[in-house]
């Protein structure tokens, strides 16, 4: 293999380039990305950047030392075996890494709306946030909660509009999501639940029931879609993302995928997973690249992410679909709490996921327990004064 092309110059793209060199690849590497910027980190965009604490989140990387041709402002538009088609011509490859991430979903309607995916999005939104600016955030998911937190800190009058019955319902389910509902009122943010947006219009947002939420700034935080449209008809099988096997190999020879755009087969959880979080973009490229170079590598992580909202550190590790939820303490009363998810028959249950709010030690210990597939004692687990380590059954 002489030439590897990496498409998408986000974190997964950058880490793919670095992993190629770390694994001894001596051929040429081209990194193609549609943004005009060097690769940067996105998590600070909805936190420190919106708050005005930093202006740039560029990831430290010495491209000359690594030896990579970087082509910013170039869009991949199609693919056939051995050839990438781009906005500035065809590029031949021996190996290809797809790392095109995800794109935010826009709301219907002709009024002005903001999304938050790029550094340019963040700087444009930040310029509008100030005392008494009326901000309507659509979606009480991870991004919506963080944007609302930052806007409120900057003195804006914030309304969050959510179609579900609680915040974070899609990610965590309504029971756990409901524990976070009071955070909005505490921060003096108006939270409209079971409120569907019909359209974004001049001066605000029209809801499906006909009511109108006046706003100077409207932010759509209703999720993202994998950036894979350019791959249609290429022979790379697509579903909710680029479908890969457990090695991150796609259905086209010599092509792998990593990061937000990749839906891989998880051996650990026996299901297909696509995880739109930083830790996956950081970790998956090493496996993708190893596979490309002919090694027998398997991507089998316990997914992890964090969110900083309303002055709290929220962290999650694992995968909880179909698992039994067990609160650790009293989430509706305690300031710091956690929720565990258990799978397996009574007496033989394993911890499969944990969500923690300002309980970092639970997160660290929970991650180890999930990774090791230890059996746990649910009674001890529900007591927040018992360390998680002491809940493991021998």
Binding-residue pattern over the window 304 to 343 for ligand FAD, x denoting contact by CB under 6 A = -xxx------------------------------------
Residues in Cβ contact with 278 at an 8 Å cutoff, skipping those fewer than 6 apart: 11, 41, 42, 43, 305
Q: Are 302 and 319 in contact (CB under 8 A)?
A: yes
> CA angle 277-283-284, nearest 5°?
90
Binding-residue pattern over the window 79 to 118 for ligand FAD, x denoting contact by CB under 6 A = --------------------xxxx-------------xx-
Output 305 or 329, the one with its CB closest to ligand FAD.
Answer: 305
User: Taking CB under 6 A as the rule, does residue 241 contact ligand FAD?
Assistant: no
Give, as ranges, the residues between 345 and 384 that touch ligand FAD (CB under 6 A).
Answer: none
Only one of the segments 241-249, 278-286, 347-355, 379-387 lies at the binding site for ligand FAD (rule: CB under 6 A); that segment is 278-286
Only one of the segments 29-37, 199-207, 347-355, 383-391 lies at the binding site for ligand FAD (rule: CB under 6 A); that segment is 29-37
Output 187 or 376, the one with its CB closest to ligand FAD.
Answer: 187
Give, as ranges, the residues between 257 and 276 that touch ligand FAD (CB under 6 A).
Answer: 259-260, 276
> Whole-number minimum distance, CB 198 to ligand FAD, in Å?
25
DSSP string, 283-348: HHHHHHHHHHTT---------EEEEEETTEEEEEEE--TTPEEEEES-TTT-SSEEEEEEESSTTS
Q: Helix or strand or coil: residue 86? A: strand
| Phi, psi (deg, nearest 5) at residue 126 | -55, -40
> Whole-number minimum distance, CB 100 to ligand FAD, in Å?
4
Burial of 194 (0-12, 13-18, 19+ CB in 10 A): exposed
| Phi, psi (deg, nearest 5) at residue 3 | -135, 120
Residues in touch with ligand FAD (CB under 6 A): 7-13, 32-35, 42-43, 45-46, 75-76, 99-102, 116-117, 143, 227, 230, 259-260, 276-279, 281, 305-307
């Amino acid at each position: 293999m002489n030439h590897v092309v990496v498409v998408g110059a986000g974190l997964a793209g950058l880490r793919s380039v670095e992993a190629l060199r770390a694994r001894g690849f001596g051929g040429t590497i081209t990194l193609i990305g549609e943004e005009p910027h060097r690769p940067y980190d996105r998590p600070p965009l909805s936190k420190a950047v919106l708050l005005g604490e930093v202006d740039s989140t560029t990831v430290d990387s010495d491209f000359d030392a690594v030896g990579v041709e970087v082509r910013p402002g170039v869009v991949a538009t199609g693919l056939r075996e051995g050839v990438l088609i781009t906005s500035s011509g065809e590029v031949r490859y021996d190996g290809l890494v797809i790392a095109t991430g995800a794109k935010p979903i826009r709301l219907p309607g002709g009024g002005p709306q903001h999304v938050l995916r790029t550094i340019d999005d963040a700087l444009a939104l930040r310029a509008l946030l100030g005392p008494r600016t009326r901000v309507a955030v659509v979606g009480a998911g991870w991004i919506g909660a963080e944007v609302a937190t930052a806007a409120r800190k900057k003195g804006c009058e914030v309304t969050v509009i959510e179609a579900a019955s609680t915040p974070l319902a899609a990610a965590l389910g309504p029971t756990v999501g409901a524990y976070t509902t009071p955070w909005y009122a505490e921060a003096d943010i108006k939270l409209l639940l079971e409120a569907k947006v019909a359209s974004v219009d001049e001066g605000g947002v029209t809801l499906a029931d006909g009511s109108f939420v006046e706003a100077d700034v409207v932010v759509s935080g209703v999720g993202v879609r994998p950036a894979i449209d350019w791959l249609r008809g290429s022979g790379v099988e697509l579903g909710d993302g680029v479908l890969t096997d457990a090695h991150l190999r796609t259905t086209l020879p010599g092509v792998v995928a990593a990061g937000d755009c990749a839906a891989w087969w998880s051996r650990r959880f026996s299901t297909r997973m696509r995880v739109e979080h930083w830790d996956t973009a950081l970790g998956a490229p090493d496996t993708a690249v190893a596979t490309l170079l002919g090694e027998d590598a398997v991507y089998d992580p316990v997914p992890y992410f964090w969110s900083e909202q309303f002055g709290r550190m929220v962290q999650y590790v694992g995968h909880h679909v179909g698992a039994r939820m067990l609160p650790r303490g009293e989430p509706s009363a305690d300031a710091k709490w956690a929720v565990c998810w258990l799978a397996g028959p009574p007496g033989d249950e394993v911890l499969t996921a944990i969500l923690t709010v300002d309980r970092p030690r639970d997160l660290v210990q929970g991650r180890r327990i999930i990774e090791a597939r230890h059996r746990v004692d649910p009674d001890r687990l529900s007591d927040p004064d018992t360390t998680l380590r002491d809940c493991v059954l021998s």
